[in-house]
Amino acid sequence: AGCAAVVLIAASVPLAWLDMPPASAQAMMRTPNINIPLRTPTVNPTIAPRIDPNVAARPNTTTGGPTTPRVTPTTTSMRPRFNPNSTMPHARYSSNLYPSCEAGNRDATGECKGQPTASGDGGGTGKSAKGKGKGKGPSSPSTATISLNIPNELVAEIDGSMSEEQVRAMAQRHGMVLVESQNFPLIDATIGLFRVTNGRPLDAARRDFAADGRVRGVQFNLRHFLQQTRTAAGDPAQYAVAKLKLPQAHTLARGMNVTIAVIDSGIDASHPELANSISDNFDALGSKEGAHVHGTGIAGAIAAHGRLMGSAPEARIIAIRAFASAQGGAESSTYVIIKSLNYAVLHGAQIINMSFAGPKDMLIERAIAATAARDIVLVAAAGNAGPKSPPLFPAANPNVIAVSGTDAQDRLFAASNRGVHIALAAPGTDVFLPAPDQKYQMTSGTSFSAAYVSGVVALLLERNPALKPNDIRAILTATARDLGAPGKDELFGHGQADAFAAAKAAIASPAVPMAVAPGGPGAGTDNDVSVSRELKVPSAAMASDKSANNEPNRPAAQ
């Protein structure tokens, strides 16, 4: 009887389990709580939003595969939230292309010997305000096949008294053809671009050409790359606006009557965010390529004033197209960048934004020194080659304000270059910016960090046009919000730029009378007049074969 009772009890247990209501079974599982906080930038209520009612956000559409319910938090209607995938396809331009091998692994021409270190490999440590933390950088394509030189091209300073026919004849004697030559008042020199046609090794052709009595110096036509990574999904709220304290800063200045030259790829001047912002255009390439995501995003970080907010929404931009699409990215060369710098100086630029990076280029170094001597502020991206990269130029030039990138949590952008030359940091990770054809993009790179800082410089110059480049550097670094290790460090420099604090400090600087040409920057009467600046600084001799051509690529001390 006892055994029978045990059997009956055992048989009834699964029946009782099956009779349990579904709610009881579900109660045994833990359902995660979904909490999605809003990340809308704080906007000063005294500033009216600038929204173009004619531009509507695109609907979010998906194709293929099953659909998944989306949880969307409730937001205010003042600033619509965009889905970057519905307005801009993933950009493929300029994932890091710079070969970031160690400085000791470069040959005399600057090329990487053997297999270079992969860029942005996350081998470094990114520090935040709370402490240290390791981050992995984005993977990059193999750089073994990337040359820093334009194939078969040389750039030379030649005797300016020669006629074009004489230059062509000289080139022919050395197995080359003249591609283009121009006199550059910026460096008081005539520079020619030559292409080797007789099949000789480029270095042998360079040495032979440098020995000609009418050639004052020869170098390779070096490649330079824009500093942008692939677009990424994320929160499109403009966190950079709050980080830089732009709404507060714009109660003091908005960049009015300040001219910024943007040496970059093509800019979509018709974008609603850039309406009336482009005061001048120059195509240093002479090609027919249209607007580009990088150049348009850079201009937006500086001057956006529609749905988005740039750091200097009233600034005037000289759009200089110096970079063209290439395999996997956008690139330029020594000769084209010299043309661009020369144009910017001659047409009244007060600030020059250089969101590109490359090797130490003696001709560009010479042009930067001449530009800085004219009291023009130079701002450059630190580079996206990662923690193992040597310093990249022009950011490592002591006349340039080098800017590294940060994210919404004030951590260092994983692919950002480091170094003692870094002056400041600014948002550059997953920033929301305009793109060609009235679209928008979510993108990352120290390029955009530099652009934000260029706009902040414009605020300072509006407040006090007498400020010199060294004054501006001192104000920016003194008012920056310290990040990472206390004091200046190799990741964030002096800290993250603070537009409001810098703008307040600018007016307190001693004002020095500055002669301004009628209608020029600072006149406050005509926003569309550019002024050529008188060129008085003597040029330094271009490095020739008889000088130290193989100087190590070390950054000069700040």
Contact 296, 434 (CB under 8 A): yes
Q: Read off the pTM.
A: 0.68
**Mean pLDDT lowest among 8-22, 435-449, 452-466, 531-545:** 531-545
Place of tokens 């407040």: 463
pLDDT band, very low/low/confident/very high, at 543 (cuts 50, 70, 90): very low
Contact 355, 381 (CB under 8 A): yes
Q: Clarify whether 430 is annotated catalytic.
A: no
Kindly state the average pLDDT of the residues 6-14: 48
Cis amide prior to 398 (ω within 30 degrees): no
> Quick one: pLDDT at residue 330?
85
Question: Most confidently modeled of 53-57, 257-261, 504-508?
Answer: 257-261
Q: What HEC string does 362-380 produce?
A: HHHHHHHHHHHCCCCEEEE
Average pLDDT, the chain: 74
DSSP bridge partners of 321: 264, 283
Catalytic residue among 447, 449, 454, 530: 447
CA distances from 141 to 6, 96, 100, 358 (A): 70, 8, 12, 17
**277-326 pLDDT, tens per residue?**
999 999 999 888 889 999 999 999 999 999 999 999 999 999 999 999 87
Kindly state the average pLDDT of the residues 177-199: 95
Task: Give the E-state strand segments of 382-459 in sequence order.
Answer: 400-406, 422-427, 431-435, 439-443
Q: Clarify whether 294 is annotated catalytic.
A: yes
> Quick one: pLDDT at residue 479?
98
Kindly state the average pLDDT of the residues 326-346: 91
427: tokens are: 């948002």
417: tokens are: 């270059």
Name the more confident of 234 and 345: 345
Over 60: is that where the pLDDT of 523 sits?
no
Distance CA 446, CA 425 (A): 9
Between the two ends of the chain, the Cα-to-Cα distance in Å is 97
Over 50: is that where the pLDDT of 258 sits?
yes
Catalytic residue among 94, 119, 121, 264: 264
> Quick one: pLDDT at residue 228?
61
151, with CB counted inside 10 A (0-12, 13-18, 19+), is exposed
Distance CA 522, CA 466 (A): 9
Number of Cβ within a 10 Å radius of residue 235 = 16
174: tokens are: 């050395």
Distance CA 195, CA 530 (A): 35
Over 50: is that where the pLDDT of 549 sits?
no
Percentage of the chain with pLDDT > 90?
Answer: 58
Contact 272, 436 (CB under 8 A): no
> Quick one: pLDDT at residue 251?
96
Over 90: is that where the pLDDT of 148 sits?
no
Q: Clarify whether 447 is annotated catalytic.
A: yes
Over 60: is that where the pLDDT of 418 sits?
yes
Kindly state the average pLDDT of the residues 223-252: 78
Calculate the CA 127 to chain-centre distance: 21
Question: Most confidently modeled of 24-33, 148-157, 352-361?
Answer: 352-361
The C-alpha torsion from 428 through 457 and 331 to 365, rounded to 10°, is -130
pLDDT band, very low/low/confident/very high, at 1 (cuts 50, 70, 90): low
Angle, nearest 10°, between helix axes 334-346 and 362-372?
10
357: tokens are: 């990076």
Kindly state the average pLDDT of the residues 433-460: 96
Over 70: is that where the pLDDT of 117 sits?
no
Catalytic residue among 174, 294, 305, 421: 294
**Mean pLDDT lowest among 4-18, 52-66, 248-262:** 52-66
